[in-house]
Amino acid sequence: MSTTPCIYIIQAFAGHGKDYTREILEDILKTKTKKIHFAKKAKEMIASSLKKELIKGCSNEDQKIEKLNYLKDHELGIKILGNKNAREMMQLLLGDVIRNVNPEIHALFSLKEMEQELMSNNPRIMICTDNRYKNEQELVYPVNLLESKEEKIDYIRWRIENHKTKYSNIEILELFDNLTKDSIIDKSDIDMLNKIKMKFINEIDKLNKTKKPQKDFSDFISSIDFNEIQNYTIQEGLERGLINVFRPLLPNDTNVTTNNLKEVIINYNKLKEEDFENIKF
């Protein structure tokens, strides 16, 4: 691949330094970047629909999302939807409801955001730090393997077209109601859910109105070894846009002894001799 990646996907478990890696990456790139969060669109819909007393003093979407995250992580005694706290509500809405409508929905929202960024006059390099599911990676990463901006945009449109929600708006509303009805206690719960539902339908409509692709990328996708990309070294990740923050130093299927340890680590990670000397055991 000869082009600079248009998106960097940083993979690691929670608390393993993804945001710190993003900061280092931004220093290396020395250019303006745009953050892509797979769950951001869904969180925006929920956070902006919370009951007024919960988001009092929050003046913009980012502050409301911060408050939602705070409630989810630190205020589990506060009931948000019926008898559910913020974490339980998020599990219901993001897991049971939204993923039932379309298991690819978070990636599709991100692809739409990527399309809009690439269509801007001065598109920024994008960085994603919350890739958790293999299907999300398989939908987003291939855009880096295409050469021209036009191809990248067309690929995104092809992905959206082939993975967009098949349910009608009425069917989505019915599914939403069926999965949330047992959580409702009073009118404030109904009002909040109605706001979330309508925002969700609006975002689904935006996906459905995406311009049709000009090309079929099926053969292109079939040519990608998605298992191989899991083993990229840090250098390969920088070149190709998929960084495994805590990639193991040793392959799982290799018999290593004290005699060949250095050789195996150098070969597997494509290191120079001097790089090996900087590894602390």
The pTM of this model reads 0.81
Instruction: Give the integer Cα–Cα distance in Å for 160 and 146.
Output: 17
Give the amino acid at 128.
C
Residue 95 is predicted with a pLDDT of 86
Runs of H (alpha helix) within 119-260: 134-140, 149-163, 169-180, 187-208, 218-222, 234-240
Residue 38 is predicted with a pLDDT of 85
- Per the CB < 8 A criterion, the answer to whether 64 and 71 are in contact is no
Query: Cα–chain-centroid distance for residue 256?
Result: 36
Q: What torsion do the CA atoms of 264, 265, 269, 271 make, to the nearest 10 degrees? A: -110
Query: Tens of pLDDT along the chain (281 residues)?
Result: 456 799 998 876 665 566 777 887 888 888 888 999 888 899 999 999 999 999 999 999 999 999 999 999 999 999 999 999 999 999 999 988 988 899 889 899 999 999 999 999 889 999 988 776 677 778 899 999 999 999 999 999 999 999 999 899 999 999 999 999 999 999 999 999 999 999 999 999 999 999 999 999 999 999 998 888 777 877 887 888 888 765 556 666 667 776 677 777 677 666 666 665 655 45
- Per the CB < 8 A criterion, the answer to whether 196 and 232 are in contact is no
The first and second tokens of residue 74, run together, are: 């630190």
C-beta atoms surrounding 148 within 10 Å? 9
Instruction: Give the integer Cα–Cα distance in Å for 230 and 225.
Output: 9
Instruction: Give the integer Cα–Cα distance in Å for 94 and 171.
Output: 17
Residue 99 is predicted with a pLDDT of 84
